[in-house]
Each structure stands twice: as structure tokens, then as C-alpha cells.
Structure 1
Amino acid sequence: MENIKKILRRKEAANIIDILNNKGYKAIYADSLKEAKDIILNLIPKNSSIGLGGSVTINELDIIDTFRNEEYNLYDRYNQPDWPTTLECMRQALLADYFLTSTNAITKNGELIQVDSGGNRVASLVYGPRNVIVITGVNKLVENLEEGLNRIKNHVGPLNSKRINHKTPCNLTGICENCSTKQRICNFTSIIRHGERMGKRITVIVISEEVGY
């Protein structure tokens, strides 16, 4: 049964890659997290500056420690002494050579949907870094924008709020309350409908596995 699921996931990944390429992104297939990691390391030249979006998928790639060595210039948002310094680090990363992130959903029309608490990932995808690399699993493929936004509201948002322990109702209940708390997990939303407006700066690596939230 698992082999059949893998075959179907590969087909799903191949289909969305064709759609994304036709929508002006640079889309690349990866059969596993390890293959995705190798692709990323081949895409990013040594001595590049690198920014990071908060992402379970990137953590699962086990790639951040690689970028912490002296061959790269990492804006290391996870290794700062306090919150104001972390904010400044994320602000500086808006002008990185490469920005690594995931997305919350990809529609079968090739639209990327992101929702953020702080907004640095949304901002970086829209404008700023010279190159953006989006890593996603086939579990994030949805039919349309409505399904994608519902997925974020009812699945991604509560999980991320619990993961980073934001003081929100969905952290406790697992249900979106459309809250107005200071640490609201879904403050900023972006929908990218076409990837070529700024010169195909967005590369999307689609992994034929379930990764991230």
C-alpha cells in the first residue's frame, strides 16, 4: 500500500511542477528530504548570504547547521541573544542573496498561499531577497484558494501556535477563534499567482513526501 501511495505522490508532484513552471516559477522535483537538501546546496553558491523563514520543513531538512559554517553568511534568526536582536536579524535577511522558506499551501492552479504571525516570510516571498527557495511536500497541495485558506485556518495555524507556544486560543483548543491577541499566528497573508514578475526569482522544490505541516 505504501508503494502505491508513493506512486500517487510522485504523480501529484510531477503535475504541480508542470503547472508551476508554466506559471513563471522555477520548479524542481525531489523524491525525498535528502534529495531536496542536495538540490538546495547545489543552488546556493558558497559565500552567499542566506535568510530563513520559520518553517518545520526547513528544520526537517537538517540544513541550517550547514549554513552556520564560515562558507556562508547566514542571518541566523535562531541564534540571537534577545528578541529585539532577532527582529533586526530578520529585517536584515530581507536583502539576502537567498531566502529559504516553505509555503502553507499550493493550489492546483499554481498559487502559493502564506500566512504569517510576524510577516517576515510573507514579505521575503513578495519582494526583497534576490532569490527565494520554497520547499514543500505534496501534503500542501490543495484544489483552490478557499481550500488552501481553510487548511491554514483549521490545520496549520493551530499546529504552529502550539509549536512556538503563542498565547492564542487555538493553542489551547486547536480551533481558530479569529482572535485579536498580540501573538495572533495569522496576521499577514500573501497569495502569489505568478512567479515571473520579478524575473523568476522564486524556485519551488516539490518533495513527493508529506513534510512539514
Structure 2
Amino acid sequence: MTANIQERFTQLPDEQALAATVTALEEHGFSVEVVDDIEAARKSVLARIPRGAAVMTNTSVTLQETGVQDAINEADGPYESLRNRMMALDFQTQMQEMKNIAGGAEYALGSVHAITADGALVIASASGSQLAAYAWSAPNVIFVAGAQKLVPNLEVAHERLTQHSLLLEDGRAQAAYGQRSYIGKVLEIRQEMPGRIHLVLIRQNIGF
């Protein structure tokens, strides 16, 4: 990854651009909260989830770095962790059951890879395991994202996926799983019914 590419996709927007993007997102049915740091982001997410709710934390560096992942999946914690239930099953023989568990989330948590200035969310995935919940099945979706993910348009969003996010995720996947990553499926959410998808935007460079 060249320094120019890294700088292009990690630069934080100014307040005017951030405010304009928030307005565009709200016009497309998303609710948005802008916070200053990861602690505020974690508190914001957890405040929106009732105790006892069935929650799925989809794989996300942002959820990990904000502490949201650990808070939800804590053993004997206040939430029903669907990831913990899934991880207790056998990947080779119980895949469909794992899919059913993830698909039954009351709250699907994750992040996005790009946010366009006109109010669209873009998420890339290798398997697509989280995309069905984001697009349709989960009644509540909460995304957490660093403000460096704001881009001018969908063309630049896809450049960010291939030239930045994928390279970082590939390194993470090799370290974590011993295998390469790839972009198998891409979801663009351009419009949503109000009240279903909430975005917590952090005024920091966090996540891929």
C-alpha cells in the first residue's frame, strides 16, 4: 500500500463535510449519531440495546477496537450473544444451524467500509455472512464507523474497498485464520425505512 493511497483513505473529513454527510444519511432513512471517541461510541451502542436482547456481533475491527464486541459477548453478560452460540457449534457439520442463529438476531452489529457524501453505506464481505441481516432480516442494525470512511461517491467507495480495506483485511485474515481474504460480495444500502439502521460515526480514524 503506497503512502498516497493510505493517506487518501484515512484522512478525516472537516466538520462541514461531516455534517453534510450526516444530513444526507438522515434523508435516506438512517439515524446517525456523531461522537468524539471510541468510549463514547461504545456507550452509544450499548445504550440502544435492551438487556436480554439477542445480539449478533459480526466480524469487525471497529467493533473490536471500540470494545463493543467484548461487551456484547461477555460470558454471563446482560445480552444473549448469538456469536457465542454459533462458536459452540461445529463449522463443518452444523453450518445451516449457525446461519439460522445469525439470522435470528434482534440486533445485528457491525461496520461499513465506505459512506458516500450523498448518503449510501457500502459493505464488502468475503462470504456475505453478515449481509442478509444488514439488508433485510435483522429488525435493528447498528453500524459503528470511523469518519475516515467518508468518500465523495460510489466510485471512490469501491476504490476504497479494493485499494485500502481489502489489503488491511487480507493481512488480518492471514494472521487470524492463516488464509487470504477477498471481496466476494458487496452490499450498497442507499435507502432504509426510518428507525431500522443506526450509524455511530466516530471523529477518529478507526477500523478498515
- TM-score class, shorter-chain normalisation, is 0.7 to 0.9
How many matched pairs?
A: 191
The residue identity in structure 2 corresponding to 1:190 is L
Whether 1:101 and 2:110 are equivalent positions in the alignment is yes
Q: CA deviation at 1:79?
A: 4.3
The residue identity in structure 2 corresponding to 1:201 is R
2:79 is aligned to 72
1:116 is aligned to 125
Q: 1:7–1:36: structure 2 CA closer, same or farther, 3 Å change rule?
A: same
Identity of aligned residues (%): 25
Q: How do 1:1-213 and structure 2 match up within 5 A?
A: 9-67=14-72, 68=74, 69-76=76-83, 79-80=87-88, 82-84=90-92, 88-165=97-174, 167-168=179-180, 185-196=182-193, 199-213=194-208
Equivalent-residue separation in structure 1 for 2:158 and 2:52 (angstroms): 37
Q: CA deviation at 1:63?
A: 2.2
Equivalent-residue separation in structure 2 for 1:191 and 1:205 (angstroms): 18
Provide Cα deviations, 1:154-194, integer angstroms capped at 9, x if missing partner.
111121111011644xxxxxxxxxxxxxxx52111111111
Q: CA deviation at 1:195?
A: 1.8
CA contact (8 A) 1:27 1:203 kept: yes
CA contact (8 A) 1:13 1:206 kept: no
The residue identity in structure 2 corresponding to 1:204 is L
Q: CA deviation at 1:45?
A: 0.4
CA RMSD of aligned residues (A): 2.3
Provide Cα deviations, 1:119-175, integer angstroms capped at 9, x if missing partner.
12222110111100011111101111110001101111121111011644xxxxxxx
TM-score (norm 1): 0.81
Equivalent-residue separation in structure 2 for 1:129 and 1:208 (angstroms): 27
Equivalent-residue separation in structure 2 for 1:30 and 1:90 (angstroms): 33
Q: Which runs of 5+ in 2 are unaligned?
A: 1-10
